[in-house]
Amino acid sequence: MSDTTMALPTLDQVIFPEQANHNFSRILGDLKRANLSITNRLNSICHDAAFVAEVADALKLPLVANERCGSWYIDSSRKVASAYFKSTDGHTGQWKFSTRRLNLHLLGLIGKHDGCIIVDSTRRGKRMPDALSKTVPTWCAVLNRALFPSHPYPSSAHALFTPPDTVSPSEASQITALLPSFVSSFLALNLDLAPLRASLQKPIRPVWITPDDGDPRLLAADERMLARVREEGFHPVLCCTASRKVVGAEMAEGGYIQGAGDDTENWARGLTAEVFWRWREELLATPEGDLPELIAELLKREETERKGKDEGLKEVVERIFVGRLGARVDEGACVVRLVPEMTDRKGWVKGKRCLEVGIGKGKGASRVLRDALPKICEFVLAYLRRPETGEDEAPRKVVVLCESGKDLSVGVALTVYCWCFDDDGKVRPDDSEVSFNKAAIRVRLGHIVTAHPEANPNRATLQSVNSFLMDWRK
């Protein structure tokens, strides 16, 4: 072999060394994080929101955001209402009709406008979220059966309609088999169905649209579809998926992110859909590196403005109100404030009508709630049972406040409703016993969410409520 002959590479030269593999993985991770930047997410949201706006303009129907994701795709000035249809209630094998997210406030809207558009999205790999393909269809079928039990054409009015290219016939059949039990659970809430039925006039039926269905400017086919649904005797409930389906790696999409408004806790740094739409131009014009600082500044500004406003209260049942911290409360009312800092229970009592419970934030606060409920109920009952004096000119009210006015305050209001009041709405006497099961608690929760559609107590909050109310050791 001559000296000019190139030597064959050795094995360790052919195989990438371990350090090279680490570097390669790190580079891929950096590229993925760069693609999922806040800037790319906000631009993707604007792209998808334009599709939603074109659908609404063409079909002349009000926009409803399926929270939390849906609000990112609707300009706040155009959002008519919010809904809470969870994808987990439509997961295969876990189908459910939620009695804590009834969404009954949508019925009046649907009846008034002969339909509505429910907006949601989903992350990479799926054409539409389970909330739109299965949870909403189940909701429509249950309400149709409950509100129109003697419809002239029950075979269609009581049927489950699902998108055939997303839900298989087998899965649709399995959901249909569960509908009678779902209807029973809804009727067990003992709600007044007459006004609900009157607000609709006719059954509701889901239909679907996604960006993958074609050019959003060519919606003639969708207009014909809605006309056909109406001719068949239904109000259309248009389930609109905002994001187009991405197949393969998102890094090949030029910065577009499917379902960019999802998982906000992992990227938004506290930014909400409402704040985004208010400051959209400024946010989109800001370099990526400066966005965290700008977002923090905007959130501080929004919080200052919110504190300066007169936050309203919502009466969830007679004499019980909920709202956000900072709301103006009538003098003489009993106030329970659930603040986001942990505080010693010895300092909770701030006066004979004011209890300030330092419960913390997030899901941890929901778990801490269980230990706080006995003190809260004791305090509220003492206020309600106090002998009336000449100063009492109006019925005594209980006001519960938390950061959102939708979660912890609703859980406490539910507990007070169960613990302090009997079935006739009268304050429980000293010698009465309190005994509840899940079904009874569910009935009273149904009253609250019907009166306060924005109420959205999370699972941990309700578990704490159930644990306290059903604990035999109380």
Residue 460 has pLDDT above 70, yes or no: yes
| 261: amino acid identity, one letter | G
Query: What is the DSSP-derived secondary structure letter of residue 124?
Result: T
pLDDT band at 201 (very low <50, low <70, confident <90, very high): confident
Residue 68 has pLDDT above 90, yes or no: no
Q: Which residue has the higher pLDDT, 409 or 221?
A: 409
Q: What is the mean pLDDT of the chain?
A: 88
Q: Which helix (H) or strand (E) holds 400?
A: strand 398-402
Whole-number Å distance between alpha carbons of 383 and 159: 50
Query: pTM for the full model?
Result: 0.84
Residue 185 has pLDDT above 60, yes or no: yes
Query: Contact 323/332 with Cβ under 8 angstroms?
Result: no
Whole-number Å distance between alpha carbons of 260 and 355: 41
The token pair at 110 is: 């649907």
Q: Work out the angle at residue 311's Cα, subtended by the Cα atoms of residues 310 and 315, and round it to the nearest 5 degrees.
A: 130
Q: Give me the domains of the chain, ranges plus CATH numbers.
A: 38-262 (no CATH), 314-386+394-469 (3.90.190.10)
Residue 28 has pLDDT above 50, yes or no: no
Write out pLDDT tens, residues 233-289.
999 999 999 999 887 666 556 689 999 998 888 899 999 999 999 999 999 999 999
Whole-number Å distance between alpha carbons of 447 and 456: 13
The token pair at 206 is: 């889901």
Write out pLDDT tens, residues 405-419.
999 999 999 999 999
Residue 315 burial (10 A CB sphere; 0-12, 13-18, 19+): middle
Q: What are the start-end ranges of the E strands in 214-302?
A: 235-241
Query: What is the DSSP-derived secondary structure letter of residue 135?
Result: I
